[in-house]
A and B are shown apart, each in its own frame.
Chain A
Amino acid sequence: GENVEQHPSTLSVQEGDSAVIKCTYSDSASNYFPWYKQELGKRPQLIIDIRSNVGEKKDQRIAVTLNKTAKHFSLHITETQPEDSAVYFCAASSNFNKFYFGSGTKLNVKP
């Protein structure tokens, strides 16, 4: 099965700085890579996703990059704000909706 590794497990940044979270995956059949944000006590919610035919995608302050050759993808958050503090999960999925999640990164944005 797919194995998704995520780093770092915790990340503390100053408000206004950038945050980068990295993930690797093992299954070359994976072709969809969503990122979820989970606030304390809440459900995971999609913030951005990327498909294997695209190398980069941006939505305002967040961006995701994908390197299919190296099997890694990253989440970039610029101009971080305290409300960005949450646990972030990467995931990889193949054509049969098998979502496998990374172990999560707890992001703390200090005011």
Chain B
Amino acid sequence: DTAVSQTPKYLVTQMGNDKSIKCEQNLGHDTMYWYKQDSKKFLKIMFSYNNKELIINETVPNRFSPKSPDKAHLNLHINSLELGDSAVYFCASSPKNMNTEAFFGQGTRLTVV
């Protein structure tokens, strides 16, 4: 029944590793996002995809690579993890170009040690 679901909820990994976070939405939305929330609670947009096409890339290091196999999924792959990547990552979705509510997933707390 969950509208936007992310896995895993928690992820602890060592520096230098590569990891992925998966996101799926069952709302039929065309637009999906990844946001990063740091320890100070800033919610910063990283990427936005519209029907599998990248429309926003907010100067995120190229160690971060989003992949959208279809419009219901937007996964985030991170290479060579660094300590500063530790944060909560939120996936979200909204209808295309309708300027309405963005629905958030429950977040993935990534801790790099």
Q: Using a Cβ–Cβ cut-off of 8 Å, how many residues does chain A contribute to the interface with B? A: 26
Task: Given A49-B101, A99-B102, decide whether A43 and B96 contact each other with a Cβ distance below 8 A.
Answer: no
Q: Contact: A93 with B41, CB < 8 Å?
A: no
A residues near B35, Cβ cutoff 8 Å: 101
Q: Contact: B45 with A103, CB < 8 Å?
A: no
Interface membership of chain B positions 93-109, coded 1 if the CB is closer than 8 angstroms to chain A and 0 otherwise: 01011111110111100
Of the candidates A1, A87, A96, A99, the one whose C-beta lies within 8 Å of that of B55 is A96
Of the candidates B48, B92, B99, the one whose C-beta lies within 8 Å of that of A31 is B99
Interface membership of chain A positions 40-58, coded 1 if the CB is closer than 8 angstroms to chain B and 0 otherwise: 0011111001010000000
Once the chains are docked, how many angstroms separate the CA of A46 from the CA of B92? 12
Once the chains are docked, how many angstroms separate the CA of A76 from the CA of B46? 29
Q: Contact: A97 with B94, CB < 8 Å?
A: yes
Of the candidates A31, A45, A106, the one whose C-beta lies within 8 Å of that of B104 is A45
B residues near A93, Cβ cutoff 8 Å: 99
Complex: chain A residue closest to B96, CB-CB: A97
Q: Contact: B97 with A101, CB < 8 Å?
A: no
B residues near A87, Cβ cutoff 8 Å: 41
Query: B113 in the interface, Cβ–Cβ < 8 Å?
Result: no
Once the chains are docked, how many angstroms separate the CA of A87 from the CA of B36? 16
Q: Contact: B43 with A89, CB < 8 Å?
A: yes
What is the interface of chain A, defined by CB distance below 8 A to chain B?
1, 31-32, 34, 38, 42-46, 49, 51, 87, 89, 93-101, 103-104, 106
What is the interface of chain B, defined by CB distance below 8 A to chain A?
31, 33, 35, 40-45, 48, 50, 55-56, 58, 90, 92, 94, 96-102, 104-107
